[in-house]
Structure 1
Amino acid sequence: MRVRRLIAAASVAAIGVLSVAGCGNASPDVAAYVGDTRYSLDRVDDIYDDAQSRFTEAVRQEAQQAGQTPTPEQLRADVTRQDVVDLLVSIELGNRVAQAQGVQVTDDVSPEQLAGQLRIPPTAEYAKLWTRWLNLSTSLSAQLPPAQLSDDSVMAVYRAIAKTGAIPTGLGVAEVRQAFGEGTFVRQASALSTALTEEADKVGTTVNPRFRPVGVPSVVSTGQSLVFYSLPYIDAAGPVTDISSPRPAAGDSAPVAP
């Protein structure tokens, strides 16, 4: 069974999480606040545009060498501004948790190693952010005690991975539990989610509605390649910030109302 083969070799970097607390911080040109750290929309745009332009140039060079002409779709990287916000917020929260718990972050993965799987040149800041997050989240997961394997956590991970098309959709809880086996990666991911949620609550986190719900970037290995996905996690009953919701730029996914 394909899902069994995929999960048997799974290596999850993180599970998505964000808690929104308070609405004292509010500005239409800000994507997110995490404590006293502010991420502007301009910063998000710069990272996004850099990833797209470097990807486009790399594809054009490869096509030129092969005597081909890429289509507009082939020139567009599979990256959104939401992906950028997910990375920025997750790294900030993760760094705070690591510092508070005295976790030493390793540098086992480099942008050059990850670039081929991301399909983004290693010189792009997006690839560097992904590398930083992968090293950070892996180090945190190794130190946090694993959480219980609840049906909710199992199905949340399953639905997020299935959304990418990497595994079949429509499976029930019993089937997914059988496919996941002991579910060690789900336990670790849930523990990391809990730690990041608590940190977000403690420092106060506000997110522009355009980027809610926020998910922490995640990756699972098929044994042959990596599947990148995001698992949204946000309290649906949480406070709505008074940040305005700008219209999504071309190519972005539509905003999700809190």
Structure 2
Amino acid sequence: MRARRVIAAASVAALGVLSLAACGKSAPGIAAYVGDTSYSVDRVDAIHAEAQAKYETTVRAAFKQQNGPSASPSPEMLQIGATKQDMLNLLVGIDLAKRIIAEKKIPVQDQLAADELGESFGAPGTEYARLAADWYDLFLSLQAGLPPAELTDDLRATVYDKMVEGKVAPPGWTVEQQREAFADPAIAQQVAAVVALSAAFQDEVKREDVSVNPRYSTLEIPALLQVPNSGFGRYNLPYLEQDSTVSDISTPEPVPSTAGPDAGPGTGPDAGPDAGPGTEGTAS
């Protein structure tokens, strides 16, 4: 199976934690520091609460329209896929992206509309949707403006591992099978660009002394991958490790092969609100 089928739906988890105390910053009300900029826990909570409320309203209305005015969706159906962690990922990611863009003088174009993204997330008109639109504009600009990374077996294995975690690809591929799946030129080019962005984020984390409140378990780069004839898929790539050190995207050991590239992808999450882009974060 070609890589385009493997990655047609993507929402992968990965990232790490930086302790606030490790950098001499430990205010319990601060979710994260990026240099001298801070992002409060209250702001993260408020962004998530607004998105959750809007999502619940949207789901209830759609469910009643389809099943009658007395019908009620289950509590599970009313839970937005995005978490408070996702909101923080957007705030920090936008901040780091803007710093890199300013330093490298990369042009940014307005390519994604907040209204459209909000509708796809089930949370139109929210700050979450606006953050998502801002982030993906920055992400696409960085993807085009940074020199692509060379895709080694180690890097392919790491990306593949995250796809398996997200049930986007079947487990058990050998190194050769991973090479084959990522051989599609269009897919390889985009993945190489995202790996380069991860490296740029690692450098920025060192430079700006990024630190995260221990209550948040991870930080992630929400990435888009355009699959020919299939639209966009979304997945996340790590740039920090849990031991508070900057990651070099270490490679997991390949597991024994139980399925080849023709096995087909797993069922990834819908293009719902589990990962979004964002606007430039401001201290609060």
TM-score of the aligned structures, taking structure 2 as reference length: 0.74
1:192 aligns to 2:197 (yes or no): yes
The alignment's C-alpha RMSD in Å is: 2.7
1: CA distance, partners of 2:93 / 2:16: 8
1:93 aligns to 2:96 (yes or no): yes
Q: What is the one-letter code of the residue matched to 1:43? A: R
Residue 116 and residue 150 in structure 1: after superposition, are their counterparts in 2 closer, same or farther (change >3 A)?
farther
Q: Is the 8 A contact 2:18 2:210 kept in 1?
A: yes
Residue 150 and residue 125 in structure 1: after superposition, are their counterparts in 2 closer, same or farther (change >3 A)?
same
SS at match of 2:215: helix
2: CA distance, partners of 1:62 / 1:212: 33
Q: What is the one-letter code of the residue matched to 1:166? A: V
Q: For 1:112-131, what aligned pairs fall within 5 Å after superposition?
A: 112-117=115-120, 119-131=121-133
Q: 2:50: which partner in 1?
A: 50
Q: 1:64: which partner in 2?
A: 64
Q: 1:38: which partner in 2?
A: 38
1:224 aligns to 2:230 (yes or no): yes
| Paired-residue identity, % | 37
Residue 210 and residue 225 in structure 1: after superposition, are their counterparts in 2 closer, same or farther (change >3 A)?
farther
Q: 1:140: which partner in 2?
A: 142
Residue 111 and residue 6 in structure 1: after superposition, are their counterparts in 2 closer, same or farther (change >3 A)?
farther
Q: For 1:165-180, what aligned pairs fall within 5 Å after superposition?
A: 165-180=167-182
Deviates further, 41-50 or 178-187: 178-187
Paired residues, what number? 236
Q: Is the 8 A contact 1:17 1:197 kept in 2?
A: no
State the 1:225 CA deviation: 5.0
Q: Is the 8 A contact 1:30 1:41 kept in 2?
A: yes
SS at match of 2:33: strand
1: CA distance, partners of 2:29 / 2:50: 19
SS at match of 1:130: helix
1: CA distance, partners of 2:38 / 2:15: 18
Q: Is the 8 A contact 1:32 1:40 kept in 2?
A: yes
Match for 1:76 among 69, 75, 79? 79
Residue 194 and residue 99 in structure 1: after superposition, are their counterparts in 2 closer, same or farther (change >3 A)?
same
State the 1:210 CA deviation: 2.3
